[in-house]
Copies of this chain bind each other. A is one copy, B any other.
């Protein structure tokens, strides 16, 4: 934990309020006046610090991605493949826990036909965190720890997708898990983060005995949903 941040400038207050509101309601539905009200400052002040509503949005997005990259890169450096992947997923979970609204904010941008502001942030992720995760998987494959027949980028997507989806669709996940409250508890989120790392590592693990685990079942049932 970094030391408690100083007074908190109006600029930061605006960024914090915007992060929450944009994530909860989306860009279009969130109004300038709402942000000003939530930040406790006048809404016109927004135009003193940011060129327009869009730039405020970009700034919020960038703050989150920068922290995600820093934490995942930091946590997964210099470890062996298995420990590195565990640390990577843990860092992903921790960053999300600190910015619970950010994944939703991010995904809102990603689903756009024109992912405008997000495209630069995704590019950054692609050459840092995502590349690191792929490298860890490939290293494990070379070392004989992981099965060699899996595509490293695909496996990396499957790995990050778990926590990403969990936090994005959190209200829905609560319903799927049969929770009553409209939120998943922090403890459940932690449990799922551990599960996600286990799940990915189990999926990657080299089979100790690659014998006839299934003899005739490989080709069938593959396209049964036509």
Q: Which residues of A contact B (CB under 8 A)?
A: 1, 23-29, 71-72, 74-75, 79, 82-84, 86-87, 90-91, 93-95, 104, 107-108, 110-113, 115, 118-119, 122-123, 125-126, 130, 147, 150-151, 153-158, 160-162, 164-166, 168-169, 171-173, 175-178, 191-192, 194-196, 198-200, 202-205, 207-209, 211, 213-214, 217, 220-226
Contact = CB atoms under 8 A, between A and B. Distances in A.
Contact of A224 (B75, B162, B164, B176): B75
Contact of A208 (B72, B191, B213, B220): B213
Could you tell me the dominant secondary structure of chain A's interface residues?
helix
Given A28-B29, A108-B26, A225-B90, A196 B83 contact: no
A161 B165 contact: yes
A168 B208 contact: no
- Residue of A23, A169, A175 with most partner-chain B CB within 10 A: A169
